[in-house]
Amino acid sequence: MSRVNPWWLVVAFLLLAGSLGAEHGQAGADHLALALLFAGLAAVAVVSASVWPRAGVVLSGAAVLGYFAAGLVNGPIFLALPLTVLVAAQRVRAPALVPVLAPVAALPVVGLALRAALHGVPWDEAFWECVGVLALSTGAAFGGWSLGDRGRARAERARLVATEERLRMARELHDGVGHGLAVIAMHAGVALHLTDRQEHPDEAIRRSLEAIRDASRDSLDALRAELGRLAPDETAPDRAPVRGLADVDVLLDRVRAGGLVIEVDRDPALPRVPGEVGAAAYAIVQEALTNVLRHSGAGRVSLRLVVADDRLVLGVEDDGPAHDGPVRDGLGLLGMRSRAERLGGTLEARPGERGFVVRASLPLAPRPTTDEVAER
């Protein structure tokens, strides 16, 4: 149910008070009582149109009809129907309101005609009053529909922004926390395996425990940064640290410490890439390795990072068991594809001859985002 705008309460009060003031002193108490009745109904119609638009329009038309048919003097009552229509049109679109508005628009005309016939008001005056009421009501209808469309457009934009922000937060948490937990699980398994064998080298366990410590610290930082967006904390960082190509080696060392062999084919002349391209590349490599740890059962992964035709080309391929059936685009694959496409690049994720293959192509001069274009 729609909320009533407090300003319409003020308008309704002024409509009632103005109508009573116009009638006061013009006739006896019976006329004042009729003015109170019909102007009060019109005021109620203006307010109720926020909640029951069509009923409010009908009530307003009937109140105006009664007011004029009773022979009451001119005043703010002329604005009653246009104001009610303005409120109702913001809530109800034209196809739903016109079938009610068309017959209701005849009610003030009937009322003015009855006042001219029964109370001696000149017919030419009544004619122009009819034209005025109909013109104001028509203009109010179009104005209300325009305001309503703008309000709905703003609400839709706000809804889309909120949805995009939720998706962004889900992607960031999935990439950061999900990878950290996958690494933690892998290293915890290695440490337990070495312990169970009773011939564990202390250094191997130490490396696994250090990787667990570092991965959990990074995951908690990412989680804290994202939660800080929902409930701001002065002690929390504004956002998670942005990783780039320079951080890939640390990522690989952490995964290697668990026993996964990673072969790297890196262009020795790899140029310095823009920050957003490096961040996207890091996130894609991280998510691809996370999927290897969680799903593939592979023992070896090859990573390729080269530049070709002003594009950064990266590939991650594992030697796990061959995949059967279609590949479902989960949150991880959707996140990788979204990062690549946002920069004007492409991403391919498919089963290989063995294991799984992820290939991305990112332009070194990414296209501007929608926000950047709007600022220009």
154 and 254: one domain? no
In a domain, 348, yes or no: yes
Residues 108-123, mean pLDDT to the nearest whole number: 88
- Provide the pLDDT for residue 347: 92
Structural domain count, the chain: 2
Q: 40, 77 in Cβ contact below 8 A?
A: no
Amino acid in the structure at residue 340: A
| Closest C-alpha to 84, from 115, 111, 108 | 108
13 and 154: one domain? yes
- Provide the pLDDT for residue 235: 44
- Provide the pLDDT for residue 101: 87
Which one of 190-199, 218-227, 266-275 scores highest in mean pLDDT? 266-275
13 and 138: one domain? yes
Q: Note down the domain range covering 69.
A: 6-158
pLDDT for residue 370 is more than 50: no
Residues 37-57, mean pLDDT to the nearest whole number: 85
Higher pLDDT: 23 or 273? It is 273
Residues 46-65, mean pLDDT to the nearest whole number: 87
Q: 77, 49 in Cβ contact below 8 A?
A: no
146 and 279: one domain? no
- Provide the pLDDT for residue 149: 87
Q: Which of 124, 158, 192 is the last residue of a domain?
A: 158
10 and 151: one domain? yes
Higher pLDDT: 322 or 276? It is 276
| Closest C-alpha to 259, from 316, 355, 199, 193 | 193
Mean pLDDT for the chain? 78
Higher pLDDT: 117 or 207? It is 117
Q: 351, 357 in Cβ contact below 8 A?
A: yes
Give every CB contact of residue 307 below 8 A, 6+ residues apart in sequence: 267, 269, 270, 271, 313, 364
In a domain, 129, yes or no: yes
Name the band, by pLDDT with cuts 50, 70 and 90, for residue 375: very low
> What distance in Å separates the CA atoms of residue 49 and residue 244, rounded to the nearest whole number?
56
Return the CATH number at 287.
Answer: 3.30.565.10
Angle at which helix 29-48 crosses helix 80-91, to 10 degrees, equals 20
In a domain, 376, yes or no: yes
The two tokens of residue 309 are 């035709």
Instruction: Give me the sign of the Cα torsion angle 274, 275, 279, 282.
Output: positive
- Provide the pLDDT for residue 314: 92
In a domain, 193, yes or no: no
- Provide the pLDDT for residue 28: 56
- Provide the pLDDT for residue 25: 55
Name the band, by pLDDT with cuts 50, 70 and 90, for residue 313: very high
Higher pLDDT: 133 or 322? It is 133
> What distance in Å separates the CA atoms of residue 1 and residue 7, rounded to the nearest whole number?
18
pLDDT for residue 262 is more than 70: yes
- Provide the pLDDT for residue 237: 47
In a domain, 178, yes or no: no
pLDDT for residue 341 is more than 80: yes
pLDDT for residue 146 is more than 70: yes
- HEC string of the chain equals CCCCCHHHHHHHHHHHHHHHHHHCCCCCHHHHHHHHHHHHHHHHHHHHCCCCHHHHHHHHHHHHHHHHHCCCCCCHHHHHHHHHHHHHHHHCCHHHHHHHHHHHCHHHHHHHHHHHHHHCCCHHHHHHHHHHHHHHHHHHHHHHHHHHHHHHHHHHHHHHHHHHHHHHHHHHHHHHHHHHHHHHHHHHHHHHHHHHHCCCCHHHHHHHHHHHHHHHHHHHHHHHHHHHHHCCCCCCCCCCCCCCHHHHHHHHHHHHCCCCEEEEEECCCCCCCCHHHHHHHHHHHHHHHHHHHHHHCCCEEEEEEEEECCEEEEEEEECCCCCCCCCCCCHHHHHHHHHHHHCCCEEEEEECCCCEEEEEEEECCCCCCHHHHHHC
CA geometry: angle 63, 64, 67, nearest 5 deg? 85
In a domain, 58, yes or no: yes
139 and 250: one domain? no
Q: Which of 117, 135, 158 is the last residue of a domain?
A: 158
- Provide the pLDDT for residue 373: 42
Higher pLDDT: 161 or 122? It is 122
In a domain, 356, yes or no: yes
141 and 33: one domain? yes
29 and 148: one domain? yes
Q: Which of 105, 132, 158 is the last residue of a domain?
A: 158
15 and 151: one domain? yes
Per cent of the chain over pLDDT 70 is 70
18 and 133: one domain? yes
The two tokens of residue 89 are 């049109």
21 and 150: one domain? yes
Q: 140, 89 in Cβ contact below 8 A?
A: yes
Q: What are phi and psi of 112, to 5 degrees?
A: -65, -35
In a domain, 233, yes or no: no
Q: 274, 265 in Cβ contact below 8 A?
A: no
259 and 118: one domain? no
- Provide the pLDDT for residue 376: 45
Q: What are phi and psi of 346, to 5 degrees?
A: -135, 160
Q: What are phi and psi of 242, to 5 degrees?
A: -85, 120
